[in-house]
A = this chain, B = another copy of it.
Amino acid sequence: MNTKIKELALNQIKVTDSFFAPMQQLVIDEVIPYQEKILKDEIPGVEKSHAIENFRIAAGLSEGEFYGMVFQDSDVAKWLEGVAYSLMIKPDAQLEARADAIIDVIEGAQQPDGYLNTYFTVKEPEQRWQNLQECHELYCAGHMMEAAAAYYEATGKDKLLHVMERMADHIIGRFGEDKERGIPGHQEVEIGLMRLYRVTGKEKYRDMADFFIEERGKNPLYYLEEAKKRGWQHFGMDPENPAYNQAHVTVYEQKEAVGHSVRAVYMYTAMADLAASLQNERLKKACEDLWDNLTGRRMYVTGGIGSTVDGEAFTIDYDLPNDTAYAETCASIGVVFFAKKMLSMEADGRYADVMERELYNGIISGMQLDGKRFFYVNPLEVNPGISGVLYGHKHVLPERPEWYACACCPPNVVRLLTSLGKYTWDETEDTIYSHLFIGQRAELEKAVITVESSYPWEGKVSYQVEAKEEKEFTFAIHIPSYIKDAVVTVNGEKVCISERLKKGYLYLKRVWGKDDRVEIAFDMPVRKIYASQKVKEDAGCVALMRGPVVYCFEGMDNGEMLQSLRIPKQLSAKAVKCEEGVLKGNVLLRLKGIRMVGSEELYSEEPPRAEETEITAVPYYTWGNRGLNQMRVWMLEE
């Protein structure tokens, strides 16, 4: 276990990546300003947010009723966190001033005892802390703690940080071993408390996070007893189904990813962070077990998790239906959080591989290429007339709705993309780890490293290393597991990879100087991916990948009835850069395919005949950008 890992501050990093930097710009230019208007109810005709007005009412600055969900406050928190990251990428004094003004209002909404939650403050002050299962007070607090830490890192301003320290102290005063043994209904406060701990160095916050994780599942009847005691319900969530909230057994006994998928991965993230911070080997083992189940049996090839809309939840091992997947964008983002915490404990390529799977596929599929529309649900197959229409498929929208219709995924995409640099690096006393091939300039402790990357479209990455002082240390670079033929040079000299590769990381130990250069080159053939035979929905099928990118087929490129197409046994595929239209800049695949043509009868004894045809695949994340049409990732093989 790496114990001396240091968290990188985001302002040490500047992403210049040709793939991700424009996406960062998009969310900074499009999403953050739009959401600000939403939060301030300045856009007519869209669903009312009222989130900032709720804070104003709680602060006594305005009169009126609370409006919105019990977790409405978290919209403001997630927006502020995204603003903090965006200010590090692109300073904006006006935006910062507006954020400061909102923070003033938040401070005003805080109660004398430190409590902060506009729903209960305005609407039901007497019901505070009575319904941890449903009422999201700790969840909202967690998000605001994350925002506070991020805003402090970005601006050096500590007003919100102090607000959230007071709220954290209020929580510490109420919950704990010898106090109320409560557990959150939606995990998140654990992550927030760990961030407070990292920013302030105060162990009480880590201890509080540790209590919430350790206490979880010790009393599986907690929510039921809580519900009986208070005698009222908010949403009508079943207090007898603690597995939904991952509170059915202790975290050490959880071997399968169950329940609501976002709650799950937020909890795993905090578990991994605590395991590393407290050197809790048993907790680390629990994380590994959950990781194995999550990624080895319950994850789509795109990185999507959560197979059912019913509770936005996991189902059972190998149940991965493509056309009714839930695969929430937020859940995939949570997997990146979790993966990064695992990586910080142990540089094992399987974590970085999954992080890559998420970043190039199941997360960014959540956002329209123009940054204006968003998916919650990221299916691997849609069929017009069925998807979004019929029972069991209503949640599977075949086109992204305008983003303001969903309050949770867009700001999560914002905060992930604007903080992307955080996921790229770890640094210990003797080693720098590079987890991702993302173009950037990173000021690390031991060196400034400039990464140039043609990823994900070409297999060409270079690291310019400028050591702060000329000395020996290890530079460990993750080589994605699909790469079989990488050629690596240091200052032009070829490195023997097999000697230096360990668990997916290439260890380059040497004396690094002021101008050393590591170059990595590899082929990017189109790869056929097969799912386990246990995944019945993918039986007989292949998916295509090139580099980290999963491809899909859309009706408009391939005529109707994608199900009648077959991928030949002998793949003959060309990667072609798209030069025009909304997909411009993306690499598409043109391949020889087969179309099965059968009888016009519904059922017949006439075997369908095979006709050769040219077919086109597009990166999965770009699907649904050109209008309503059929889409499939998994295609039948010849």
Interface residues of A (CB under 8 A from B): 295-297, 299, 301, 308-310, 315-316, 318-319, 324, 383, 385-386, 390-392, 482, 527-536, 539-540, 543, 561-564, 566, 596-608, 636
State A636–B539 Cα separation when bound (angstroms): 8
Known: A297-B602, A536-B383, A539-B564. A530 touches B316 (CB 8 A): no
State A237–B296 Cα separation when bound (angstroms): 44
State A566–B533 Cα separation when bound (angstroms): 12
Known: A310-B391, A392-B324, A539-B636. A532 touches B563 (CB 8 A): no
Known: A301-B603, A316-B385. A608 touches B390 (CB 8 A): no
In angstroms, how far is the closest chain B Cβ from the Cβ of A545? Answer: 9
Contacts of A309 in B (CB 8 A): 391
CB-CB nearest in chain B for A638: B540
In addition to A531-B602, A535-B602, 15 A-B residue pairs with Cβ atoms within 8 Å of each other are: A295-B602, A296-B601, A299-B602, A315-B386, A315-B390, A391-B392, A392-B392, A530-B599, A530-B603, A531-B603, A532-B599, A532-B602, A534-B561, A536-B562, A540-B563
In angstroms, how far is the closest chain B Cβ from the Cβ of A241? Answer: 14
Give the 10 A-B CB pairs with smallest separation, nearest first.
A310-B391, A539-B563, A392-B392, A536-B563, A533-B564, A540-B636, A533-B598, A316-B385, A532-B602, A308-B391
Contacts of A534 in B (CB 8 A): 561
State A300–B449 Cα separation when bound (angstroms): 62
* 23 examples of A-B residue contacts, CB within 8 angstroms: A295-B602, A296-B602, A299-B602, A308-B390, A308-B391, A309-B391, A316-B385, A316-B386, A319-B385, A319-B386, A319-B390, A391-B392, A527-B605, A528-B605, A530-B603, A530-B608, A531-B602, A532-B601, A532-B602, A533-B561, A536-B563, A540-B540, A540-B636
Chain A at the B interface: SS class: loop
State A318–B534 Cα separation when bound (angstroms): 27
In angstroms, how far is the closest chain B Cβ from the Cβ of A306? Answer: 12
In angstroms, how far is the closest chain B Cβ from the Cβ of A539? Answer: 4
State A436–B583 Cα separation when bound (angstroms): 59
CB-CB nearest in chain B for A632: B536
CB-CB nearest in chain B for A319: B386
State A107–B23 Cα separation when bound (angstroms): 78
Q: Are A528 and B607 in contact (CB under 8 A)?
A: yes
Contacts of A383 in B (CB 8 A): 536
CB-CB nearest in chain B for A540: B636
CB-CB nearest in chain B for A311: B391
In angstroms, how far is the closest chain B Cβ from the Cβ of A290? Answer: 15
Residue of A318, A392, A527, A529 most packed against chain B (CB within 10 A)? A392
Contact of A529 among B391, B539, B603 (CB under 8 A): B603
Contacts of A308 in B (CB 8 A): 390-392
CB-CB nearest in chain B for A317: B385
Residue of A534, A543, A566 most packed against chain B (CB within 10 A)? A534
State A543–B636 Cα separation when bound (angstroms): 17
Contact of A598 among B390, B532, B636 (CB under 8 A): B532
In angstroms, how far is the closest chain B Cβ from the Cβ of A213? Answer: 27
State A529–B383 Cα separation when bound (angstroms): 24
Contacts of A608 in B (CB 8 A): 530, 533
CB-CB nearest in chain B for A308: B391
Contacts of A296 in B (CB 8 A): 601-602
State A535–B599 Cα separation when bound (angstroms): 12
Contacts of A566 in B (CB 8 A): 540
Q: Are A529 and B605 in contact (CB under 8 A)?
A: yes
In angstroms, how far is the closest chain B Cβ from the Cβ of A396? Answer: 11
Contacts of A301 in B (CB 8 A): 603
In angstroms, how far is the closest chain B Cβ from the Cβ of A76? Answer: 32
Q: Are B539 and A600 in contact (CB under 8 A)?
A: no
